[in-house]
Amino acid sequence: MAFPAIALAFLPLLLTLLIRYRFYFALFYRAVLVRLWKDCVTGLSREERAYQYVLTHATPGDPDSILDTFDEWCSKVEYISNIGPKKGKILDRLLMEQSPLTVLELGTHCGYSTVRMARALPLGARIYSVEMDQRNAAIAEKIIRLAGFDDDTVELIVNPSDEVIPRLRSDFGLERLDLVFMDHWKKCYCADLQMLEGSGLLGKGSIILADNVLFPGAPKFLRHIRKSGLYDWKVHRATLEYSKGIRDGMAELVYQGIK
């Protein structure tokens, strides 16, 4: 008799937690449980399923169609943490204002943000996109080529970021990075930024845009930019891509160098 009474006593607390954290529970369901179930049922990875949807629903050679179809899949079918259309507008604005010629992307994943950037670059610009997972890189390359971008516009580099950054000058002939977009492992943000600072590839006015600095969060990265004195910076408040009620943000940094 004691167990039902104890369970009943905890019911208000359980309901409070469910209501308070309902958006996080919904995210866990969409991003983890649905993914595991469909992995088992289909025998395909989530990224492969996304590519199949884009391939059968989007217009080849049309980047806008590719992105819209990807957004539809992520919103209505399964969850993937692309930058998404809302935060993507911040990236679009920077590309329009800065017209960068040399872009480094850390974290290609499925190629969504790569396509989003490539469609807005000026003639002669190039993206160097770094992805450590070979299976994801293979999917990303298909998405990028389906959108109509070749090796002259997007060079996909399949290696961990901490191995690629020190070789950007020697192996790829880079002298300066105009824009860096970070959307890979959040725990790598700080170390990779410091590595870029030491590489000499950041010049006055170079832009760094880092996604998901509030959720899942990159606290060491934020502490570093506050203390370093190397940047003018701000955090754009937003909600997590393809989700409701989960607050997130993108950090926009303008490199000033040592003052």
**Is 183 among the residues known to form the active site?**
yes
Check 105, 192, 241, 252 and give the catalytic one: 241
DSSP string, the chain: -HHHHHHHHHHHHHHHHHHHTHHHHHHHIIIIIHHHHHHHHHSS-HHHHHHHHHHHHSPTT-HHHHHHHHHHHHHHT------HHHHHHHHHHHHHHH--SEEEEE--TTSHHHHHHHTTPPTT-EEEEEES-HHHHHHHHHHHHHTT--TTTEEEEES-HHHHGGGHHHHH----EEEEEE-S-GGGHHHHHHHHHHHT-EEEEEEEEES-IIIII-HHHHHHHHHH--EEEEEEEEE-TT-SS-EEEEEEEEE----
> Does residue 68 have an active-site annotation?
no
Which of the following is catalytic: 47, 105, 183, 252?
183
Q: Which is catalytic among the residues 105, 131, 212, 252? A: 212
CB atoms within 10 A of CB 1: 4
- Domain boundaries defined on the chain: 2-76, 84-255
Question: Per-residue pLDDT for the chain (259 aa), expressed as one digit of tens each?
Answer: 455 655 555 566 566 666 677 888 889 999 999 999 999 999 999 999 999 999 999 999 999 999 999 999 999 999 999 999 999 999 999 999 999 999 999 999 999 999 999 999 999 999 999 999 999 999 999 999 999 999 999 999 999 999 999 999 999 999 999 999 999 999 999 999 999 999 999 999 999 999 999 999 999 999 999 999 999 999 999 999 998 889 999 999 999 987 5
The model carries a pTM of 0.92
Let me know if 76 is a catalytic residue.
no
Q: What class has domain 84-255?
A: alpha beta
List the catalytic residue out of 82, 186, 197, 252.
Answer: 186
Q: Which of 105, 211, 248, 252 is catalytic?
A: 211
Rounded CA gap, 103 and 113, in Å? 12
